[in-house]
Structure 1
């Protein structure tokens, strides 16, 4: 059994990525995001996931300066927004992200969406490969890419994405995509693992939670890990941040995992990557 928040999975290039991190989507820049990151790291988190479009990279960077943890012990992820796709614009946007975070390098950088209408993600990926080869990023990947986007990207690339961060929860288990990523040694990472709280009144999950004396949120995070999926639950409340990570002292049974898997509805809370073209 995995021991704590320092437990990691090994990416295709050998980089160790924590199984559980803090997501800061829609967390306000300034004191709110700064305190959330500080609370998370003080609770044992070592992975923080932000994005340029979240508008809070500066606050995340300020928090990182205040915590008493070495930079090399942290795993910091950010994402390139759709409007910045393209070779040269990606390089410029990456430097701006580093500057806002106050860092010399990123542990993971992701293309936020494929934006199929623009058809720029292959040019964008060439810039990612350049930054990776220059050791400015320890690992590179994508977010919200379906199988067809990954196939196109892999065919024209030197480096296969190491991570694909996608919407993943019991109502959207993404089985075909997960099998594709497993076959290509791409680590799946879950955003919205708690389905924005929409699963907290589910009877099946409540019975499982009660059986283990845990919350539904804790059951969902544990289900992610046991499914081989890295997860980044979001909260701004210190006690919730701590609670979401208290998942290393129990294990879901085979039958419980099966019950949760059977809740799938192929239902999204976010956009469909095939049609989402906002820039």
Structure 2
């Protein structure tokens, strides 16, 4: 009975978040009309980058720096559009896969500390204002995340996500994501205390193709300070940037950066190379 009540409360919170998300007013998405956006989508490759692809390395700021605490983190992420055909409600279907790895490259045997596997099946939809100009992008998805291990080291969870992305200020894009989690009690029963029921991501372009700031916020289901803040600065040192390649400085503070030791608090600063996603370039003027 208690579990059912908790699930109902989580669903209510999720629905409330969805109502808030779709009430967000877009102030900087007027670059694309419904017609030219459809033309642009028709020319997109079926296979493309989903999240950032990167290799970064760094050190902790909250503990002693040594060959065990310093590490590297890399991520590969791609997206496959399954159909551009007009599905019901003018939606499109796609698959994504993201793999994030924590690699202790400074230890003698170069061990991988944790590897997180994250596939999803998603349905996307573009939203337009009364003037038929792009207002936002919505995504409904089923997502699985696990570390592929067994016994006491096994970590996994599943969730139904609702995500909405829109321009909120000049050169600023915001993504609001809420999830309804399930099948997470075995191996990590208190996971929601650290990852919560959603996240907010803000990305501001100071100079197109040159300097970008990105911030992601999560708050766990607790009255304490559990959760995470992840800040990134992207900088392109070259004269042009036709392949979305940058140097990236990342600072992660909080818990649940990876699944294995999700309860562990940490503060890590890393720097390295990234091929940045351009999934939501429609919200940046001139980026077509």
Structure with more of its chain in strand, by fraction: 2
| Higher helix content, 1 or 2 | 1
Question: Shared topology, TM-score over 0.5?
Answer: no
Structure-2-length-normalised TM-score: 0.28
